[in-house]
Amino acid sequence: MRLDRLVANLPGYNRQQARRALAMGEVEVDGCVVQEPAWDIRPFATVSVRGQVVQHGYPARYLMLHKPEGCVSATSDPEHRTVLDLLPEAERADLHLAGRLDYNSTGLLLLTNDGHWSRRLTQPGSKLPKLYYVETEQPIEAHYVSVFEAGLYFAYEGLTTLPAHLILLGSHSAHLSLVEGRYHQVKRMFGHFQNKVTRLHRVAVGPLTLDPALAPGAYRALTEGELASLQVPLEG
């Protein structure tokens, strides 16, 4: 909500009075004077007018979770265990996923109660690379590299994938970095060569790498430094 609208909705204020209060420096957000009427007020912000708190913010939460196999990336599911089921019930409230992993894929998954933040990370324009460790049934041949870099045509969507960077690690393993997250994208890319993916593990999202100390199913809060590293612009 815009800051001027929040103030104008208070008892004893209208739009003109709200703008006057802002202009006179009588409005604070998280302890700092804000005079911009269009300032976006999120649920986590504490807002005061003339020293009186009019909105008590609640804590924003940002978690990294080591997703194990055999659970769905969803907040609820009638048939399967979800990633939220890995957390104590008292800690699940208002959390949602910033990105997804397939049922049997593993690795870094981000959870938050901050919709603005998750939108920044997942919007197509963010171009935030995701790094995966991949194992396959058949050998990964050297020419995969140039094909992935050029992009693959997905007939179902009628589009060509953006360039993806493949680094061979062994005869049947590789690192793959891509900036999209289309349905079963990694499996479909290797499927172009009739090569089945047998293991898919997300190692990193942008500069954020999965904490090696987190066992499958474990989670922890992101540090301030990790949060700062993930800042990307919000479109629209």
The residues assigned a catalytic role are 102
- Phi/psi of residue 15, each to 5°? -65, -40
What three-state secondary structure class fits 228? helix
Which amino acid is located at 38 in the chain? A
Distance in angstroms (rounded) separating the CA atoms of residues 201 and 108: 8
Distance in angstroms (rounded) separating the CA atoms of residues 233 and 226: 16
Most distant CA pair in the chain, distance: 72
Distance in angstroms (rounded) separating the CA atoms of residues 2 and 24: 17
Strands 62-67 and 106-112: antiparallel
**DSSP letter assigned to residue 8:** H
Strands 62-67 and 219-221: antiparallel
